[in-house]
């Protein structure tokens, strides 16, 4: 059944209610104003970087319990008719009422996207504009193939690029958390415990 659904030519148009009825837990798709956007299988480097970030953030937040990390398969309904599935997202405790059993209703506080060849336009432009308009406070974009990491912070309703400081991208939303961009460009990726030690979390 799932293979038959995904075989339908893209884009496929439907209402948001039809999208809810059509999709199941094994169908990876986003929904943008009536258009269903199937999500391609991820590459090995995408998988490894997402897994590294997930482990690093999860263990950091165990020591700094300011919110919840969700993903990589959790949906965000940014507004009526717009549903995205960030690679990772963070929701601060004070915004916990946005979390339902199926999705985040409204903007998360942070979103991470790991860029794949099929998602370049979507991650760098489309989601940038959507997250900005929805009020996502920090948007992290990681392009491991190009050895690039960017952090955008919402300032008076618009994203500004956060400059690196000594090779670090520093979050204001997750207190004390930062990423060395070189961590994301290493092959193999660094040991998570070593990174947590640099962060002062172990």
Residue pLDDT, tens place only, 24-79: 888 889 999 999 999 888 899 999 999 999 999 999 999 988 999 999 989 999 99
Structure tokens given for 102:
């199926």
152 and 84 within one domain: yes
Taking the C-alpha atoms of residue 48 and residue 70, their distance in angstroms, rounded to an integer, is 17
Q: What's the CA gap between 161 and 139, in Å, rounded?
A: 10
The reply to whether 79 and 162 lie within a common domain is yes
33 shares a domain with 132:
no
| Whether the predicted pLDDT of 20 surpasses 80 | yes
Based on the fold, state whether residues 35 and 115 are members of the same structural domain.
Answer: no
CATH number for the domain including 58?
3.90.1570.10
Residue 12 has pLDDT above 90, yes or no: no
The answer on 25 and 107 residing in a single domain is no
What per-residue confidence (pLDDT) applies to 11?
A: 57
pLDDT at 136 (0 to 100):
98
Residues 30, 58 within the same domain? no
pTM of the model: 0.91
pLDDT at 188 over 50: yes
Residue 52 shares a structural domain with residue 19: no
- Could you tell me if 10 and 27 lie in one domain? yes
**pLDDT of 8 above 60:** no
Q: Would you say the C-alpha torsion 8, 9, 14, 19 has a positive or negative sign?
A: positive
* Contact of 114 with 46, CB cutoff 8 Å: yes
Are 78 and 147 within one domain?
yes
Express each pLDDT in 134-181 by its tens digit.
999 999 999 988 889 999 999 999 999 999 999 999 999 999 999 999
Same domain (yes/no): 31, 52? no
- Residue 83 and residue 179 in one domain: yes
Q: Alpha-carbon distance 181 to 164, whole Å?
A: 9
CB 172 within 8 A of CB 150: no
What one-character DSSP code corresponds to residue 53?
Answer: H
- Which structural domain, as residue segments, surrounds residue 134? 42-199
Same domain, 147 and 94: yes
Q: How many domains does the chain have?
A: 2
């Amino acid at each position: 059944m799932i293979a038959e659904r995904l075989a339908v030519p893209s884009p496929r148009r439907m209402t948001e209610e039809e999208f809810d009825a059509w999709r199941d837990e094994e169908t990876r798709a986003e929904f943008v104003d009536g258009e269903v956007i199937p999500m391609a299988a991820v590459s090995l480097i995408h998988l490894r970087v997402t897994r590294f970030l997930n482990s690093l953030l999860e263990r950091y937040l165990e020591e700094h319990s300011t919110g919840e990390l969700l993903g990589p398969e959790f949906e965000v309904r940014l507004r009526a008719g717009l549903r995205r599935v960030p690679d990772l997202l963070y929701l601060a405790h004070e915004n916990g009422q946005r979390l339902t059993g199926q999705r985040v209703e409204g903007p998360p506080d942070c979103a991470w996207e790991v860029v794949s060849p099929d998602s370049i336009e979507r991650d760098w432009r489309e989601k940038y504009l959507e997250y900005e308009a929805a009020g996502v406070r920090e948007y992290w974009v990681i392009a491991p193939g190009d050895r690039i990491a960017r952090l955008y912070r919402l300032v008076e309703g618009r994203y500004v690029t956060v400059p690196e400081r000594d090779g670090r991208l520093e979050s204001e939303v997750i207190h004390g958390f930062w990423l060395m961009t070189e961590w994301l460009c290493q092959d193999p990726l660094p040991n998570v415990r070593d990174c947590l030690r640099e962060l002062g979390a172990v």
